[in-house]
Amino acid sequence: MRTQTPFLPMSFDASSPLGILDRIGWWGALGMIAIALAYTFFMLLASRGAPRHGGPSHPDAPLLVVILMPCLNEAAVIGASVRRLTSIPDPGLRIMVIDDGSDDDTAQVAAQAGDERVEVVRRRPPHARLGKGEALNDALSIVRSRCTTASSSRVVVGVMDADGRLDPHAIEEVRRAFAPQEVGAVQMGVRINNRFGSLLARMQDMEFVIFTEVFQRGRRRVHSVGMGGNAQFVRLSALDALGPRPWTRSLTEDFDLGIRLNATSWTNEFWPAASVHQQGVTNMRRLMRQRTRWFQGNLQALHLLRSVAREQRGLGRADTLWQILTPYLLLTGSLLTLSFLITMVTAGVAAVLRWEQSWAWLVGAYVIAFGPALIYAWIYWRIERSEGLSLLKAVGYAHLFVLYGLLPSLYGWRAVARELTGRTGWAKTAREAEPDQGAQSVSSRSATGSNGSASMGSPLPSKQRPPSTSARVEPLAASQDARPGSAVPAVPAAPAVPTRPLLNPTAVIVRRPRPTSSSMTNEEMR
């Protein structure tokens, strides 16, 4: 005797309250799926039709690029990151490492790894560890104090994480991207550099590739490009339009900045001609912690709805509103995940036991669940085939990617719980030591003093005023045998820090930029 397995595993009287709720649930689910699929395919079409990047490159143009690199206990990776940046032979490049109250050797390792274009700023507790946005704002005040004679439109401020690896041609591409004067911000692509060693890292790489190749490219077309925390470049004049402290205390200050820039007259640009390569998380627990923080930060952007609705127009406004509401849509959609999984398991059991069932809806369910992922597999394969990825393997990754996409059902509600209970602090994602960093760590206890071992603190509430600018940072101690102005060798001992007068009371800089042949003089960036 065969048992009929209908589309719905359970049915109710249509006139009963449960029957009404049942119909509302299923039609609501189908409506949400339809909207999500429509949006995905719209962005897919928009991304394919996005205009190609053009414009001449101006490597000798009077454009100063200052990269800010906020760090907290990043001794494992900061040395390699600084060395990669200083290997770029660009006279108009400056690197400012912000040691945000580290109690390891971050500042020393960064100073040793750099050259005269690298400056290390040390912030001290209790004024440190107030969030990435606060560290960036304090560093920006230093940049502004030095660019008193240079036009703010000729200065570009970049943000990179301590584990970031910029492509060697990235700074040249930055100059190309900012050639149009209406461009206020540029976001480059993001790749995971350890994607070959971990399946979890591979999923993160696929996630970033799909996000940039489909959604960021599509947003170029509708003028709603978002900003990320790595390889974000913003014109100083665009930052000035957002006030003296443009980065907020949001847990996702990058997302917040991008939305507010879209609400100005400036244009956000996505520039895939160069990428930053960062470490992927290889531990599920760390990933859940990281994504909980990101999700919670996106929840905090709800207050921007009004300004977006008032200031933006057209498809750009619609997409930016979609970006802000996405976490809430994901939470609603997560309620359907369990029902979908139960239905698929039931169908699988029915197939094994040879129960009679309609295969049409099974095919339909597969197409809905995995159809977009198969398109993503094609896109990812076209990018990764030069690295030896086969199309068949990419299709396999796509099916795992669908399961990976169910994780917001877990960390999303965790983020809601944290937000409702007022827990806005966060623990940074731990980095893994890079191969060439083993011998770079040096003891810093003598330089850090007693305050260097302060424990991780929590950000202050957003309504609280930032602390006064005095005594926020302290200079690094310099070695006695180093000479001011001397070149830094490839494997330095303990480099000296030349003494320089204070430009403002917010910071003491421990390395001085060297004279260059750039058309922007040192007087303009003194």
Residue 209 banded pLDDT, cuts 50, 70, 90: very high
Q: Average pLDDT in the 4-27 region?
A: 59
* Residue scoring higher pLDDT (193 or 368): 193
Q: Average pLDDT in the 46-53 region?
A: 71
pLDDT, averaged across the chain: 79
Domain presence at residue 508:
yes
Cβ distance 222 to 317 under 8 Å? Answer: no
Query: Residues of the chain with pLDDT > 90: what percent?
Result: 58
Domain presence at residue 208:
yes
CATH number at residue 229: 3.90.550.10
Rounded-to-integer distance, Cα 290 and Cα 284, Å: 10
Per-residue pLDDT tens for 311-362?
999 999 999 999 999 999 999 888 776 666 666 677 677 777 777 766 676 7
Pick from 201, 382, 186: which is nearest to 272 by CA? 186
Residue 6 banded pLDDT, cuts 50, 70, 90: very low
Residue 471: the pLDDT is 35
For residue 509, report the phi and psi dihedrals to the nearest 5 degrees: -95, 135
pLDDT at 46 over 70: yes
Residue 427 banded pLDDT, cuts 50, 70, 90: low
Rounded-to-integer distance, Cα 307 and Cα 321, Å: 10
Rounded-to-integer distance, Cα 410 and Cα 216, Å: 25
Domain extent, residue 103, equals: 61-282+450-526
pLDDT at 510 over 60: no
Tally of domains within the chain: 1
Rounded-to-integer distance, Cα 61 and Cα 176, Å: 10
Per-residue pLDDT tens for 218-253?
999 999 999 998 999 999 999 999 999 999 999 999
Residue 75: the pLDDT is 93
Domain presence at residue 222:
yes
Q: Average pLDDT in the 374-392 region?
A: 96
Domain presence at residue 378:
no
Tokens representing residue 402 in the block: 């669908």
pLDDT at 454 over 80: no
pLDDT at 417 over 60: yes
Domain presence at residue 9:
no
Domain presence at residue 445:
no
Q: Average pLDDT in the 408-417 region?
A: 93
Domain presence at residue 420:
no
Note the pTM of the prediction, 2 decimals.
0.77
Which residues does residue 100 pair with via DSSP β-bridges, in sequence order? 123
pLDDT at 388 over 60: yes
**Minimum mean pLDDT among 262-271, 298-307, 447-456, 464-473: which range?**
447-456
Q: Report the b/e string of 349-388 with b at 16+ CB within 10 A.
A: ebeeeeeebeeeebeeeeeeebebbebbbebbbebbeeee
**Minimum mean pLDDT among 30-44, 273-287, 427-441: which range?**
427-441
Domain presence at residue 17:
no
Residue 386: the pLDDT is 95
Per-residue pLDDT tens for 83-113?
999 999 998 999 999 999 999 999 999 999 9
Rounded-to-integer distance, Cα 132 and Cα 499, Å: 28
For residue 455, report the phi and psi dihedrals to the nearest 5 degrees: -80, 165
Pick from 102, 161, 124: which is nearest to 441 by CA? 102
pLDDT at 53 over 90: no
Torsion over CA of 297, 285, 287 and 279, rounded to 10 degrees?
A: 130
